């Protein structure tokens, strides 16, 4: 199964991608996670992405597209993948089409997880992430333990720099201008599947499974 997950920042793409990856037995590929891992290791890629991420802007396409191409060429993607956070503008969607064509495959579906701005802001501002394993928590919906240590790996739980309110506003603006057109793009291709992302995470998962 070859899937793209679309939707505004904080809607639950990562949350659903982790579950779908387990369920379908295909890798979860998140460009945001790849940039954050690179930054944690202080590689050139990570350091070059930092200023864009911290201000809520898109990392330039010449960096991002090559990164995704390399990842999709990895043999573990031969049975499928779940892309989360890519494509994020129409140029990336066109590039993805070319990459998949060169690999002799195509997308099965683009799943659009939809929710209103109030809900996504609440989800983002309450989010906490584990430094060690990337597990995601939420201060209200899925609170981390009080000692601030991840129950899965013992890692430190922190708040993403770009989850500050002013950066969140910029991310939503960028989403509207550049990423929303990608939803229309896949509608035009005929593979768009829309689910209501305002439900709880189990219900959103069930809705996605039933659609694909
Ligand atoms: P990225 O990491 O992709 O961030 P994003 O798209 O803004 O999305 P988020 O990760 O914030 O949200 P999510 O939808 O994954 O929500 P989550 O599951 O965590 O990108 C970050 C930056 O990297 C970009 O700004 C850009 O600079 C750069 N970048 C990345 N990809 C790029 C690209 N292709 N091109 C250029 N630049 C790129 O859920 C959020 C919270 O809500 C969590 O706390 C979770 O527990 C909770 N939650 C989830 N679902 C539910 C539910 N149903 N009910 C209640 N709570 C829920
Ligand atoms: Mg995410
Ligand atoms: Zn952890």
pTM of the model as a whole: 0.96
CA of 101 to the centre of ligand 3 (A): 36
Point out the ligand 1 atom lying closest to the alpha carbon of residue 7.
14
The per-residue pLDDT for range 69-93, each reduced to its tens digit, is 999 999 999 999 999 999 999 999 9
> Residue 165's pLDDT is what?
86
Residue 59's pLDDT is 98
pLDDT of res. 166: 87
85 ligand 1 Cβ < 6 A: yes
Whether 88 lines ligand 1, by a CB cut-off of 6 Å, is: yes
Cα 129 to averaged position of ligand 3 atoms, centre (Å): 8
Specify whether 160 is catalytic.
Answer: yes
Nearest CA to ligand 1 atom 54: 200
Q: Are strands 192-196 and 136-138 parallel, antiparallel or unpaired?
A: unpaired
Give pLDDT, residue 197. Answer: 98
Catalytic residue chosen out of the listed positions 19, 36, 171, 193: 171
Ligand nearest to the backbone CA of 10: 1
| Residue 97 Cα to ligand 1 middle (Å) | 23
The list of the chain residues with pLDDT below 70 reads: none
Secondary structure (DSSP) of 163-188: GSHHHHHHHHHHIIIIIHHHHHHHHH
Give the pLDDT score at 192: 98
Active-site annotation holder among 36, 71, 88, 128: 88
C-alpha torsion sign, points 40, 41, 42, 46:
negative
- Closest approach atom of ligand 1 to CA 60: 36
- Residue 20's contacts (CB-CB under 8 Å, 6 or more residues apart) are 3, 28, 82, 205, 208, 209
pLDDT given for residue 203 in this prediction: 98
Tokens of 162: 């770009």
Q: What is the pLDDT, as a whole number, of residue 92?
A: 98
């Amino acid at each position: 199964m070859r899937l793209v997950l679309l939707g505004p920042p904080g809607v639950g793409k990562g949350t659903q991608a982790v579950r779908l990856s387990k369920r379908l037995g295909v890798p979860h590929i998140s460009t945001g996670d790849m940039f954050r891992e690179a930054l944690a290791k202080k590689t050139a890629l990570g350091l070059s992405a930092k200023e864009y991420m911290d201000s809520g802007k898109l990392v330039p396409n010449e960096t991002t597209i090559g990164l995704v191409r390399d990842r999709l060429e990895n043999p573990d993607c031969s049975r499928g993948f779940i892309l989360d956070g890519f494509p994020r503008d129409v140029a990336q969607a066109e590039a993805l089409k070319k990459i998949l064509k060169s690999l002799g495959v195509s997308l099965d579906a683009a799943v659009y997880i939809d929710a209103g701005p109030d809900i996504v802001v609440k989800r983002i501002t309450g989010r906490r992430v584990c430094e060690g394993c990337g597990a995601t928590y939420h201060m209200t919906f899925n609170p981390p333990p009080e000692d601030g240590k991840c129950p899965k790996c013992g890692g430190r739980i922190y708040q993403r720099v770009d989850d500050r309110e002013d950066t969140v506003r910029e991310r939503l603006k960028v989403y509207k201008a550049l990423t929303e057109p990608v939803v229309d793009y896949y509608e035009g291709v005929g593979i768009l599947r829309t689910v209501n992302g305002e439900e709880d995470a189990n219900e959103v998962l069930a809705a996605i499974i039933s659609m694909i």
